[in-house]
Structure 1
Amino acid sequence: MSNPLLGDWDTPFAIAPFGRIEDKHFGPALETALTLARAEIVAIAEDPEAPSFANTIEALEASGKALDRVLSTFFTVAGADSNPERQALQREFAPKLAAYSSWVYSQKALFARIEALWERRDQLNLTDEQARVLMLTHRGFRRRGAALTGAEEARMQDIMARLAELGTAFTQNLLADEAGWHMELSEADLEGLPDFVVRSARDAGKEKGLERPVVTLSRSLIVPFLQFSPRRDLRERAFAAWASRGANGGETDNRAIADETLALRAERARLLGYEDFAHFKLETEMAGTPQAVRDLLMQVWEPARAQALRDGELLTRMMHEDGIEGPLKPWDWRYYSEKRRQAEHDLDEAELKPYLQLERMIEAAFACASRLFGLEFRPVDVPLYHPDCRAWEVTRGGAHVAVFIGDYFARGSKRSGAWCSAMRGQARFPERQGPVVINVCNFAKGDPALLSYDDARTLFHEFGHALHQMLSDVTYESVSGTSVARDFVELPSQLYEHWLEVPEVLAEFATHAETGEPMPKALLQKVLDAASYDMRFQTVEYLGSALVDLAFHEGAPPADAMARQAEVLRDLGMPEAITMRHATPHFAHVFAGDGYSSGYYSYMWSEVMDADAFQSFEEAGGAFDAERAKALEKTILSRGGSADAEALYLAFRGRMPGPEALLKGRGLAA
């Protein structure tokens, strides 16, 4: 076919032929793929044969492959390398895809076949994985309103279409605010900034076609600026822009979008017979109920807040010693906390950063995966969507496992944050296919590119997600890789972060960018000693966001999300100098789609398990214990969503954990 998105891909590893794809191809390809997918659904629904697992569930698993390929390709570039045409296509595609999804779930004949299989599931002689896929398919149809009829069914379709439009608008507004702001710096404004921040600011200015250095809203640039700039006025200006993303008035303001989104989610839950959206959403998660989530979060909130308040008092005294009166503000915390860290731990981020080269940290992530799971990584030349991207073939014992793509640098066309996605998931049905996995980050460019310790942790975190995708070994793609409960999906990623802090890993891969010398043992020890430094601050800003998210979706929806946010934070006693990690207008986890809605808590739920899981390595033969690594792959990484999350963890550890290891790891234990 003339459209490169359609037909067979004769590229290495059957990767999307990015070199031949133009934006004009996406619209026609989507229409063709939707037509094919609809025909496949109709054929399944109207099959004259009695419903069987093969002609209904497996047929659904095999359907929509052309659509999957078009969408995985499009959303990869739309998120990581956007432009006005792709943004317009996102707005155009959102209601079409929502309408298609609603149409599928409204097929009564199809749902009747699934329901018939569910009712006689015990007679079908299914494997455990097949039984799981049947359960998930049946539950998914019911939760999408397949049992609704008449006006309720029509209203559900309208709600889902509108939510898709709102999520797209939220994302694009946020991207516009992030890309549209920068603060130019004079040479005098650079005083006090370490060399790596100055280089990043100059590089950011060049990217924008300016002769002067700039601060942008990329986390890898604005956070170190807030840490090191002695200019309080500039810190305040930069922080104000960062905090007001999505709340600047005009066409890119997200506040009304948040209000409407919350109202529609609540109505959706009521139509399906749930008390509220939180109960609907958490039904399928490990936590199960809003109360279970709140119980965990509040167990951590109280000690974190108390200790953060004490930290704030100390930082305030430091500020007053500098001759600045009044209370500590959010744009002061990171600056004085960095000074405190240098004083208490004799650890200077500027001293540390030359040892955290991006290239060496990539090597470290690969090397840990090789020691733990026997994986090997070989650079390969394949079609990629941007010059910054790189690709590796992942093998084990000479056999192909996956293709891994890394897209590490910040740019104006990329949405903020870091994420892992699979352009193709692992499966053995309807034919064997290896995964194609992407890690996308927003690190500051440089020659060489240097990371903060938080950046390095992010790299390991996203690679943990990638391992979950790459080591998947299931039959059906719908349960492969990261297709698991939201509060379980962060376990592999957060667990992998621990290997960054293994002394022998840093000793080998943390080498100086100029001298090539390994990190001195004294500095290495400082890094490890300070690993949980300022964790009270990080815990409070995270929990503020998680508890606001939960409050948004529990009970009646707020008429004014910003007022509800303020009410929740006031009731919690949120310290004045600490803000939510993600305030409502830029809380993309919750409002760019419903993936983490009522689910932002899941990072901490998973952390309870990851702290306990790493402890099991330490209790055995150490971080690279072969038996523990084998158990991790066998019981968790290879299984995807083919079994219940709690059952998988129990198979790995033999028991469910309490929060003790988490509190200890965050320095919050009594």
Structure 2
Amino acid sequence: MQGLSRLFSHLYGVRFAPAATAPGEVWHDDVRRLDVLSDTDGHIAVVYCDLFQRAGKNPNPAHFTVRCSREILPADIPHDNDGMATAPSASGALYQLPTIALICDFSSSPSTTGTNTPPLLAFHEVTTLFHEMGHAIHSILGRTAYHEVAGTRCATDFAELPSILMEHFAHSPAVLALFARHHATDAPLPQELLRRRMLASTHLEHSETYQQALLALLDQELHAGPPMEIASSTRVYAQLEAEHALLAPGYVPGTAWQGFFTHLFGYGGLYYSYLLDKAIADRVWTAVFANDPLSRDAGERYREEVLRWGGARDPWRCVGSLLAREDLAEEAAVAGRMEEVGRWGIKEQIK
């Protein structure tokens, strides 16, 4: 969290400050409150971090917006705000203080280790934390008139862009240098070790892309027709494996794992969002952040063109303006936008 705070301080001029909680404010002793403080606007958000596994807790990493940001109008002020804290902005506008719950499933918590050793995260857990924090920063920095379009309340196939982009930061040597040190010796992460880890992460990455494409196809097949016309999701999946499988045996008879894959109804018809937003995030990283991942200018540009808008602006205009691609921003380009992003993804996979 210290590393994320330092990163966001560089990019957006905001930082995390641990805060005490009132009796009954949190749902478990492991939950920690972080106040989000802005260099210009003061206290702008609250994040509750529930990061460690325990019995009865949902194991799926997630970001939940407990309370969205919205502009508070002068007419609202005389009324009882029902405990809703407010955050004034440098422009003079008053906003409802967004409140976020950040949920992960890391293996050991400070209350269960029983030693002075801090909880140690595997690299994939660091990536997961950055991914979920990408959703959180979308909610934190969103500044819209209405709460129903604040932060992550945007088009579903745009909502994964900030989270996937944050995975790039998790793999950046410049960002890792902000916090990745040995817990006992304080030695920085060896660059050669990081290089080998990054190389290992590319192993079989095309197989992962294939699997994501297959899941997106399954999602489309299940949601393409009228409800209840699909007699068997297993039969649909087996047919897709028969048509597209890269390796034998493809579908294994007697299995039905797709019944446990909750994204098929949570993202019904929109699971392709992960592949679409990965291609966009790759392009944003290369064009905006790769040369200097700690650039304040780049961070403010991304904040102003993407994060602040939530769902109040056409996401294609957000992306087009950020990348200086008016052909993506203009409504006349609607027919060719997806194909263009598809070409970006293909080029990245061929590298």
CA distance in 1: counterparts of 2:177 and 2:251, whole angstroms? 35
1:669 counterpart = 2:350: yes
Name the structure 2 match of 1:586. Answer: 260
- 1:525–1:660 CA distance, 2 compared to 1 (3 A): farther
For residues 180-195 of structure 1, the aligned pairs below 5 Å read none
Report the residue type matching 1:614 in the other structure. W
For residues 523-602 of structure 1, the aligned pairs below 5 Å read 523-555=193-225, 557-576=229-248, 583-591=257-265, 595-602=266-273
Alignment length, in residue pairs?
302
1:444 counterpart = 2:107: yes
Unaligned runs of 5+ in 2: 77-94, 329-339
CA distance in 1: counterparts of 2:250 and 2:97, whole angstroms? 44
Identity of aligned residues (%): 28
Q: Which of 364, 372, 394 in structure 1 is aligned with 2:11?
A: 372
Question: Structure 1, residues 66-110: CA drift from partner, whole Å, max 9, x if none?
Answer: xxxxxxxxxxxxxxxxxxxxxxxxxxxxxxxxxxxxxxxxxxxxx
For residues 421-436 of structure 1, the aligned pairs below 5 Å read 421-429=64-72, 431=76, 432-436=95-99
Question: Structure 1, residues 353-399: CA drift from partner, whole Å, max 9, x if none?
Answer: xxxxxxxxx22222111110000211111221111111111011261
Name the structure 1 match of 2:321. Answer: 651
Question: Structure 1, residues 117-162: CA drift from partner, whole Å, max 9, x if none?
Answer: xxxxxxxxxxxxxxxxxxxxxxxxxxxxxxxxxxxxxxxxxxxxxx
- 1:602–1:579 CA distance, 2 compared to 1 (3 A): farther
Q: What SS does structure 2 have at the residue aligned with 1:379?
A: strand
Q: Which of 269, 276, 286 in structure 2 is aligned with 1:615?
A: 286
For residues 330-349 of structure 1, the aligned pairs below 5 Å read none
CA distance in 2: counterparts of 1:401 and 1:577, whole angstroms? 53
Report the residue type matching 1:669 in the other structure. I
Q: Which of 32, 36, 46 in structure 2 is aligned with 1:403?
A: 46
Tell me, yes or no, if the aligned pair for 1:508 and 1:518 is still in contact at 8 Å: no
CA distance in 2: counterparts of 1:377 and 1:550, whole angstroms? 40
Q: Which of 20, 33, 41 in structure 2 is aligned with 1:391?
A: 33
CA distance in 2: counterparts of 1:455 and 1:425, whole angstroms? 27
Report the residue type matching 2:9 in the other structure. S
Name the structure 2 match of 1:218. Answer: none
Which TM-score applies when normalising by structure 1?
0.43
Question: Structure 1, residues 321-359: CA drift from partner, whole Å, max 9, x if none?
Answer: xxxxxxxxxxxxxxxxxxxxxxxxxxxxxxxxxxxxxxx
- How big is the shift at 1:663? 4.3
Q: What SS does structure 2 have at the residue aligned with 1:606?
A: helix
Tell me, yes or no, if the aligned pair for 2:241 and 2:250 is still in contact at 8 Å: no
Which TM-score applies when normalising by structure 2?
0.80
CA distance in 1: counterparts of 2:56 and 2:181, whole angstroms? 31
RMSD over equivalenced CA pairs, Å: 2.3
CA distance in 2: counterparts of 1:420 and 1:579, whole angstroms? 33
Tell me, yes or no, if the aligned pair for 2:175 and 2:294 is still in contact at 8 Å: no
CA distance in 2: counterparts of 1:571 and 1:541, whole angstroms? 13
CA distance in 1: counterparts of 2:344 and 2:202, whole angstroms? 13
CA distance in 2: counterparts of 1:441 and 1:468, whole angstroms? 18
Q: What SS does structure 1 have at the residue aligned with 2:100?
A: strand
CA distance in 1: counterparts of 2:65 and 2:289, whole angstroms? 31
Structure with the higher helix share, 1 or 2? 1
Question: Structure 1, residues 492-534: CA drift from partner, whole Å, max 9, x if none?
Answer: 1111111112112223422123333211222122223334223
Report the residue type matching 1:494 in the other structure. I
CA distance in 2: counterparts of 1:420 and 1:388, whole angstroms? 17
Tell me, yes or no, if the aligned pair for 1:474 and 1:638 is still in contact at 8 Å: yes
Tell me, yes or no, if the aligned pair for 1:426 and 1:434 is still in contact at 8 Å: yes
Tell me, yes or no, if the aligned pair for 2:11 and 2:297 is still in contact at 8 Å: no
Tell me, yes or no, if the aligned pair for 1:407 and 1:439 is still in contact at 8 Å: yes
- How big is the shift at 1:435? 0.2
Tell me, yes or no, if the aligned pair for 2:65 and 2:101 is still in contact at 8 Å: yes
Tell me, yes or no, if the aligned pair for 2:238 and 2:251 is still in contact at 8 Å: no
CA distance in 2: counterparts of 1:483 and 1:425, whole angstroms? 9
Unaligned runs of 5+ in 1: 1-361
Tell me, yes or no, if the aligned pair for 1:545 and 1:583 is still in contact at 8 Å: no
Q: Which of 296, 301, 309 in structure 2 is aligned with 1:631?
A: 301
- How big is the shift at 1:570? 1.6
CA distance in 1: counterparts of 2:106 and 2:251, whole angstroms? 23
Report the residue type matching 1:433 in the other structure. Q
For residues 4-403 of structure 1, the aligned pairs below 5 Å read 362-382=1-21, 383-397=25-39, 399-403=42-46
Structure with the higher strand share, 1 or 2? 2
Question: Structure 1, residues 456-475: CA drift from partner, whole Å, max 9, x if none?
Answer: 11100100100000001111
Report the residue type matching 2:209 in the other structure. T
